[in-house]
Structure 1
Amino acid sequence: MRFAHRLADRGIPIWVRFVLVSGLPDDPANVDAVAAGVPTVERVEVLPFHRLGAAKYAALGLPFPLSGTPPPDAGLLERVRGQFRDHGLAVI
């Protein structure tokens, strides 16, 4: 966030990639804080969490810390995208 504010202080447009993980950053207050937090954010790409990295953890002999976490459903994905749109941001 400090870096984002440094860019904003210089008037530099920012594109954000927001990784949506069910039960973690999906709280409505958190999404609103991210959406309103930096004035030069122009676009947000909402990336739904997936488990594609689990095989890499297994190959390294490491436990995958989000193994029990489900991907976000379509309703949650649309709610979060809508929150960003409500703040006037372009959403992908």
Structure 2
Amino acid sequence: YVQGTPDGKRPGRVVVAVSNPTKRSLIDDEAVAYHEGVPGHHMQISIAQTLQGLPKFRLHGFYPAYAEGWALYSEELGKEIGFYKDPVSDYGRL
């Protein structure tokens, strides 16, 4: 995930690896979409950038345990909601 700018001039974007499509495993693609997109990093960072009154260290710092914890939780939300429609996609989440 590449975050956008707080002023909205550059939107956030999820970068999808497409190199070696015949050799690359697709098993975790669905989980990665939830992890990086919505409700993952994209939603997390986009909302955080709009919050008012946060201390500067919260705006510019990166806290891996929090960020990755949220993204892993996002993958689990996909399961709870029923987005993983087949066992292979669910296995890719693990």
Q: Note whether the superposition's TM-score is higher than 0.5.
A: no
Q: Give TM-score, length-normalised by structure 1.
A: 0.29
Q: Give TM-score, length-normalised by structure 2.
A: 0.28
Higher normalized strand content (fraction of residues): 1
Higher normalized helix content (fraction of residues): 2
